[in-house]
Amino acid sequence: MVDKFTRVRAIFAENFDHLREKKILLLGVGGVGGFCLDALYRSGIENITIVDFDKFEITNQNRQIGSEHIGQTKVFVFKKLYPKVTPIDVKVTPSWVDEFNFDKFDLVIDAIDDIDAKVATAQKTYSKLISSMGGAKKLDPTQIEIRSIWKTYGDGLAKKFRNELKKVNFNKKFDVVFSPEEPKCKDLGSFVGVTGAFGLTLASLAIKKLAPK
C-alpha cells in the first residue's frame, strides 16, 4: 500500500501499528512543542492531546509552526493543521496538573517553560515523562543531548529544575533533552535550528520510549 505513511512504515517496520495506538499528552506547543507535534503526527502518531493557553505573536514567526496566524490561539491553529489532535486551551499550572487525569496517556511530553508547572508534572508523571530544557539563546543543535535530569550540565533551565526538584525531595529519574551550549546573547533570543531540533529530538525520544523493547 502506498500512502502518506509508506516511508514511515519502512523504517518503523512492525512497530508502526503499535505506535499508531499510543496516546500522548503534549504540554506546550511553542517553538519546541510545535516541531515535536509535527514530527509525531507526520509519523502516524495522531492520538495526541495538546495543552497550551498562548496566542501567536509576531515575535514567534522566527521559529514557531503556525505562527503566521497572529492573534489566534495556538492549540486551535494546530487543530486545523493536525485535525486528529485534541486541543486543551489552558495554562499548565501546578493546580491544573494536580487536578488533571494523566492515566489514559502512554507518554507525557513536557515542552513548557514554567518551572513550578514542570516540577508538578514531574512529581505526578515521572514514570512516563520526557521533558525539554532550555533551547533559547543557542546556535548549535549538535550539542543537544538526552540524559536523566540528574545527569544534565551546562543548561540553566535544567539546573534550576534540578534544584527545585530537590527542594520537594523528588529523587526519581526521567529523561530530558538539553544542551550545555553557552548562551549567545543576554536578551531573549532564539534560533529555529536549535529550538526546532529540541522538538525533533523529543519526538525521536518519544518513539524510542513507546516502541516495543
Give the residue among 68, 65, 82, 74 at the shortest CA–CA distance from 24. Answer: 82
C-alpha cell belonging to residue 105: 496517556
C-alpha cell belonging to residue 201: 529530538
Could you give the CA distance from residue 176 to residue 153 in angstroms, rounded to a whole number? 11
How many residues does this entry show for the chain? 213
99 CB neighbour count, 10 Å cutoff:
8
Q: What is the pLDDT of residue 212?
A: 84
**What tens digit of pLDDT does each residue of 72-119 get?**
999 999 999 999 999 999 999 999 999 999 999 999 999 999 999 999
Q: What is the pLDDT of residue 204?
A: 98
Label residue 188 by pLDDT band (50, 70, 90): confident
Give the contacts of 23 (CB within 8 A, at least 6 positions apart). Answer: 47, 48, 49, 104, 105, 106, 107
Domains for the chain: give ranges and CATH numbers.
6-210 (3.40.50.720)
Label residue 213 by pLDDT band (50, 70, 90): low
Q: What is the pLDDT of residue 208?
A: 97
Q: Do the beta carbons of residue 112 and residue 92 sit within 8 Å?
A: yes
Q: Do the beta carbons of residue 121 and residue 132 sit within 8 Å?
A: no
The percent of residues in the chain predicted with pLDDT above 90, rounded, is 97
pTM above 0.95, yes or no: yes
Q: What is the pLDDT of residue 1?
A: 74
Label residue 9 by pLDDT band (50, 70, 90): very high
Taking all residues of the chain, what is their mean pLDDT, rounded to a whole number? 97
Q: Exposed/middle/buried for 127, CB within 10 Å: 0-12, 13-18, 19+?
A: exposed
Q: Exposed/middle/buried for 148, CB within 10 Å: 0-12, 13-18, 19+?
A: exposed
The percent of residues in the chain predicted with pLDDT above 70, rounded, is 100
DSSP string for residues in 6-25: HHHHHHHTTHHHHHHT--EE
C-alpha cell belonging to residue 48: 495526541
Beta-sheet strands, E only, within the chain: 24-27, 48-52, 86-89, 107-110, 129-132, 145-148, 175-178
